[in-house]
C-alpha cells in the first residue's frame, strides 16, 4: 500500500534525539539536531571531527561504543546512520517497539520517519520530500525541487511578503552601481518581502517594476543641488513605517556603508528601538572603474586605494589634505566629484602631483549611457567639462588602462 506520509515540523528543543553512527551522514543529522536545540546522544565506536568537536564543546553526548539495546531510552526521535544494515535494522526495531520515530539513513523507504530536503531562508523553513514506500521514495528528486525553490527565492521571484504582522524591521540594501544584475541574492529576497521601499535616485530602479502593486514605494532621491527630502526626514520615514509593523527596505545605490550615509540611517533606527539589518552592495567606487576596464589595484601600478567624496573638496579641504593625497601613491577614487573636478585637479597639482598622472572620468557606469573621458591631472578638468553626475573619477597609473 502506498504510504503518503504526513509532513510535520518537530520541536526538538530540550528533547532527547539519539543518532546511531559517527560518519559524515550521521554528522549531518547531528548538526541539524544540535541547531534545533535537541538533547543529542551519539552512539558510535568512532566519530568524525565535527561530532568530536561538538562533544568537546558540550553540545552533545558521545558514547564511544557500538549500539546496544536500551540506548534509545527517553528518545523522541532516532537516526540509524551506521551504514551497517543489521545495526540500522536493530535500531529501527527498538524504536518501533517503544513508539519512537526512526529515520533510516541507509534506506529512504524504511523507518517510520523521513527527513525532507530542507531549505531555510530567514524565518521560512521549507521541506521537500516524496511520498511512498517500497521503492517509490526519490530523495534526489526532492533535492532537485528544493534547489529550484531556493533559486526562485534567491532571485526574488516568489511571493515572500508576510501576511501576518511580525514586527517592524528595516533593511538597508546596497543596490550596486545601477544594473539590477549586480544586486546580491539577499537583496533580491529582501525586496520580494518588503512592504515599503524607500529608494534613492541611483539605485537600480528597474527592480521596482517587479514589486507587487500594494508595495509602497517612496522616492527620496537627491540630485546635485536638490534635496527634496532631507536625511533627517528619511530617517524618520524608516522609523515611522517600521514602528507601524511594516518591513521596510531602504534601497540605495552602491554600498550603504561606503559614502552612502547608511551608518547614519542604521544608528537612527537603533536609537528609535527599530531592528535593522544591512545588506552590502557592490560599491560604485570599485565597480564603475571595472566597467571601464580599470582595476583600482594592479601589480606594478597600484597596491592601495583611497576613496574620497567630492563633496569634501567642494566644502574646502585644506592644502595639507591635498599634500597627503598627492603623496599617498596608489589609486585615488572620487565619488560625487564631477562638480569639484577643477578644484580637485588644481589642489593635487599645487600639492606636487605629477602633471602627467593619468585620470579617467566614468559616467553612468554599467548602463547603456556609459561614457569614459581620459586625460591627465593637468588637463582632465577641461576634457571632462561636459561630464555629468553620476560619475566616478579615477586618478593614478591604473587610469591609463581605461577602455575608451
Annotated catalytic residue, options 88, 94, 195, 200: 200
Reported pTM: 0.75
- Over 90: is that where the pLDDT of 402 sits? yes
More confident residue, 396 or 225: 396
Region of poorest pLDDT, from 39-48, 107-116, 185-194: 107-116
Name the band, by pLDDT with cuts 50, 70 and 90, for residue 132. Answer: low
Mean pLDDT of 291-310: 95
Across 37-60, average pLDDT: 96
**For residues 204 and 176, is the Cβ–Cβ distance under 8 A?**
yes
pLDDT tens digits along 325-367: 888 889 999 999 999 999 999 999 999 999 999 999 999 999 9
| Predicted local confidence at residue 120, as pLDDT | 86
- Position 109 scores a pLDDT of 78
Average pLDDT (27-41) is 95
Q: Residue 153: which pLDDT band, with cuts at 50, 70 and 90? A: confident
Q: Cell numbers at residue 263, please?
A: 551608518
- Please determine, for residue 37, whether its predicted confidence score (pLDDT) is greater than 80: yes
Residue 281 vs residue 141, higher pLDDT: 281
**In the predicted model, is pLDDT for residue 164 greater than 70?**
yes
Chain CA centroid to CA 69, Å: 47
In 240-379, which ranges are E strands? 247-252, 276-279, 305-309, 331-335, 358-363, 371-376
**Position with higher pLDDT, 132 vs 360:** 360
354 has catalytic annotation: no
pLDDT of residue 236 exceeding 90: yes
pLDDT at 320: 46
**Cα–Cα distance for residue pair 37/58, rounded to 1 Å:** 12
Which of 27-36, 137-146, 281-290, 312-321 comes out lowest in average pLDDT?
312-321
Q: How many angstroms separate the CA atoms of 269 and 263, rounded?
A: 10
Residue 155 pLDDT class (50, 70, 90 cuts): confident
Question: Domains, the chain, ranges and CATH?
Answer: 16-115 (3.40.50.720), 169-279 (3.40.1010.10), 285-401 (3.30.950.10)
Q: Which of 222, 277, 312, 379 is catalytic?
A: 222
Instruction: Specify whether 107 is catalytic.
Output: no
Amino acid at each position: 500500500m502506498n504510504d503518503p506520509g504526513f509532513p510535520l515540523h518537530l520541536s526538538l528543543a530540550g528533547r532527547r534525539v539519539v543518532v546511531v553512527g559517527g560518519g559524515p551522514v550521521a554528522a549531518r543529522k547531528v548538526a541539524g539536531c544540535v541547531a534545533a536545540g535537541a538533547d543529542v546522544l551519539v552512539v558510535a565506536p568512532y566519530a568524525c571531527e565535527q561530532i568530536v568537536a561538538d562533544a568537546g564543546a558540550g553540545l552533545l553526548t558521545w558514547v564511544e561504543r557500538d549500539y546496544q539495546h536500551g540506548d534509545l531510552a527517553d528518545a523522541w526521535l532516532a537516526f540509524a546512520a551506521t551504514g551497517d544494515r543489521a545495526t540500522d535494522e536493530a535500531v529501527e526495531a527498538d524504536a518501533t517497539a517503544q513508539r519512537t520515530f526512526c529515520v533510516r539513513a541507509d534506506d529512504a523507504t524504511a523507518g517510520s520517519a523521513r527527513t525532507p530536503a530542507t531549505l531555510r531562508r530567514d524565518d521560512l523553513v521549507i521541506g521537500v520530500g516524496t511520498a511512498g514506500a517500497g521503492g517509490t521514495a526519490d530523495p534526489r528528486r526532492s533535492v532537485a525541487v528544493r534547489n529550484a525553490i531556493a533559486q526562485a527565492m534567491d532571485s526574488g521571484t516568489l511571493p515572500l511578503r508576510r501576511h501576518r504582522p511580525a514586527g517592524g524591521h528595516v533593511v538597508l540594501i546596497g543596490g550596486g552601481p545601477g544594473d539590477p544584475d549586480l544586486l546580491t541574492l539577499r537583496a533580491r529576497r529582501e525586496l520580494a518581502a518588503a512592504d515599503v521601499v524607500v529608494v534613492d535616485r541611483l539605485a537600480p530602479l528597474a527592480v521596482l517594476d517587479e514589486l507587487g502593486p500594494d508595495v509602497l514605494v517612496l522616492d527620496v532621491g537627491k540630485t546635485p543641488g536638490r534635496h527634496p527630502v532631507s536625511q533627517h526626514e528619511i530617517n524618520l520615514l524608516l522609523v515611522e513605517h517600521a514602528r507601524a509593523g511594516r518591513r521596510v527596505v531602504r534601497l540605495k545605490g552602491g554600498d550603504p556603508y561606503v559614502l552612502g550615509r547608511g551608518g547614519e540611517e542604521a544608528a537612527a533606527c537603533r536609537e528609535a528601538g527599530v531592528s535593522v539589518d544591512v545588506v552590502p552592495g557592490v560599491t560604485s567606487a570599485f565597480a564603475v572603474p571595472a566597467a571601464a576596464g580599470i582595476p583600482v589595484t594592479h601589480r606594478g601600478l597600484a597596491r592601495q586605494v583611497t576613496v574620497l567624496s567630492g563633496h569634501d573638496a567642494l566644502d574646502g579641504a585644506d592644502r595639507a589634505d591635498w599634500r597627503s593625497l598627492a603623496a599617498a601613491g596608489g589609486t585615488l577614487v572620487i565619488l560625487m566629484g564631477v562638480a569639484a573636478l577643477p578644484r580637485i585637479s588644481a589642489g593635487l597639482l599645487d600639492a606636487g602631483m605629477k602633471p602627467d598622472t593619468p585620470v579617467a572620468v566614468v559616467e553612468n557606469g554599467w548602463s547603456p549611457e556609459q561614457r569614459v573621458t581620459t586625460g591627465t591631472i593637468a588637463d582632465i578638468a577641461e576634457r571632462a567639462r561636459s561630464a555629468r553626475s553620476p560619475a566616478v573619477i579615477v586618478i593614478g597609473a591604473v587610469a591609463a588602462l581605461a577602455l575608451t
